[in-house]
Amino acid sequence: MAQLIENLKIGDAGVDIPVLAPAVNGTSKETEDSDDDVAEDTPAVAKRPKKKQQKVQTDPPSIPLSQLFPNNTYPKGEEVEYKDDNRWRTTNEEKRHLDNLNGDFLSDYRQAAEAHRQVRQWAQRSIKPGQTLLEIANGIEDSTRYLVGHDGLTEGDSLIAGMGFPTGLNIDNSNILKVDIGIYIGGRIVDSAFTIAFDPIYDNLLAVVKDVTNTGICEAGIDVWVGELGGYIQEAIESYECEINGTTYPIKAVRNLCGHTILPYSIYGTKTVPFIKSDDMTKMEEGDVFAIETFGSTGSGRYVEGGEVSHYALRGNANTKDLTLSSARSVLGAIKKNFSTIPFCRRYLDRIGQEKYLLGLNNLVKSGIVEDYPPLNEKQGTYTAQFEHTILLRPNVTEVISRGDDF
């Protein structure tokens, strides 16, 4: 995690976005001073009610969303109407009624999505050559905890809201950085990723992968077969090529990665969306939440595991009765109380005060109680990019919940 991004230097941090000084008694300071020139026998004029000063987010983000949205109403994502045989859903009164019953579900998701937009847009502005990946991850995660109002330092606090998984950072050839962020409220996880290039010669690759991700979103919907959707993604991405440093590369879909459903407190559900055409006739269904993503590569189109394990997650149905190692039982208790089935990393265990837990953690992995996730890598010299959004298959419309002005 402490790998250095070459030639980068971070700018100043902790600077608030300017906010106008509030009026005094509903009038500006200039107006207040001018009252001295008014004769004392002038009839009194009713004072205007004070106008509440709207809070403005700081840079980096530190004001909780609950203060920026005091009525708990958060922006909708992009709504995409169903097409073809499902077009009727958009205007059907029964489906609209069902959609209106999902108030808490949508509120949690939209709050998590707004936190995601604010954090990632700050990250896109602030990430500069010279930072370590650890510095970048800590900045994103600290800002997220401020926004959702839960620092996760007291037992169970991080189960209310926080990071949906440790920030995923992967750098190619010191110039292309993939950033994958998950944020949740009440177990509702928003998973969205973007790629930054520190040299414009890679911009075409990024534009291609972003466009193909949008193709996947447009073709997704209720009753769509996931294998067929993978075919649309593959056809779109393999129709492109890009030129880098005078060499033209065909762009390939990464064959052994996929999009996926998201369940409460679980980043990986039971359905997957491949990046290539397959015979999988599993259908997308009403109420499903999907992470639609695309990895485009100039290399072989296949990732391999390699490097130190970066993420862990508790298996929800694991049998823990035969666990005998005391250190394993101790760290398992901490995992259940602080993360449940939400992915975590060793930094997170350090942060909540766990000590001498590595032997116990390794025992949990060996016993099949905790799953480990090593980093995934393409071959050296390959250029890859990733973009991802979370979509909700609502009864009457698809909502791209994580959509923002940035992508």
- Check whether 260 is labelled as a binding-site residue: yes
pLDDT at 42: 47
Q: Each residue of 238-249: pLDDT tens digit?
A: 999 999 989 999
Tell me the mean pLDDT in the region 123-129. 96
* Long-range contacts of residues 8-11, Cβ cutoff 8 Å, at least 24 apart: 8/127, 8/128, 8/129, 8/130, 8/131, 8/198, 9/128, 9/129, 9/130, 9/131, 10/126, 10/127, 10/128, 10/130, 10/131, 10/135, 11/126, 11/128
* Block residue for tokens 């030639």: 7
CATH of the domain at 288: 3.90.230.10
- Domain match, 159 and 206 both: yes
What gap in Å lies between CA 349 and CA 162, rounded to an integer?
15
Q: Give the three-class secondary structure for 275.
A: coil
Domain containing 359 equals 311-372
Backbone dihedral angles phi then psi of residue 53, each to the nearest 5 degrees: -75, 125
Tell me the mean pLDDT in the region 104-131. 97
pLDDT at 114: 99
pLDDT at 255: 93
Backbone dihedral angles phi then psi of residue 363, each to the nearest 5 degrees: -65, -35
Q: Each residue of 54-112: pLDDT tens digit?
A: 789 999 999 999 999 999 999 999 999 998 888 889 888 878 778 877 889 999 999 99
Q: Does some domain include residue 169?
A: yes
pLDDT at 173: 78
- Check whether 155 is labelled as a binding-site residue: no
Q: Does some domain include residue 34?
A: no
Contact between 196 and 127 under an 8 Å Cβ cutoff? The reply is yes
pLDDT at 94: 79
Percent of the chain topping pLDDT 90: 75
- Domain match, 130 and 241 both: yes
Listed in sequence order, the residues at least 6 apart from 69 whose beta carbon sits closer than 8 Å to its beta carbon are: 111, 114
Backbone dihedral angles phi then psi of residue 83, each to the nearest 5 degrees: -125, 175
pLDDT at 159: 97
Confidence of residue 291 (pLDDT cuts 50, 70, 90): very high
- Domain match, 391 and 354 both: no
- Domain match, 226 and 166 both: yes
- Domain match, 258 and 151 both: yes
- Domain match, 257 and 355 both: no
pLDDT at 50: 62
* pTM > 0.75: yes or no: yes
- Domain match, 366 and 323 both: yes
Q: Give the three-class secondary structure for 119.
A: helix
pLDDT at 378: 85
Q: Does some domain include residue 300?
A: yes
Backbone dihedral angles phi then psi of residue 145, each to the nearest 5 degrees: -65, -35
- Domain match, 382 and 246 both: yes
What gap in Å lies between CA 104 and CA 314, rounded to an integer?
26
Listed in sequence order, the residues at least 6 apart from 339 whose beta carbon sits closer than 8 Å to its beta carbon are: 158, 159, 314, 348
pLDDT at 379: 84
Q: Give the three-class secondary structure for 359.
A: helix
Confidence check: pLDDT of 271 > 90:
yes
- Domain match, 257 and 218 both: yes
CATH of the domain at 366: 1.10.10.10
Tell me the mean pLDDT in the region 35-54. 54
- Domain match, 153 and 271 both: yes
- Check whether 293 is labelled as a binding-site residue: yes
Q: Where is 148: in which H helix or E strand?
A: helix 133-148
Tell me the mean pLDDT in the region 30-36. 41
Query: What is the tally of structural domains in the chain?
Result: 2
- Check whether 388 is labelled as a binding-site residue: yes
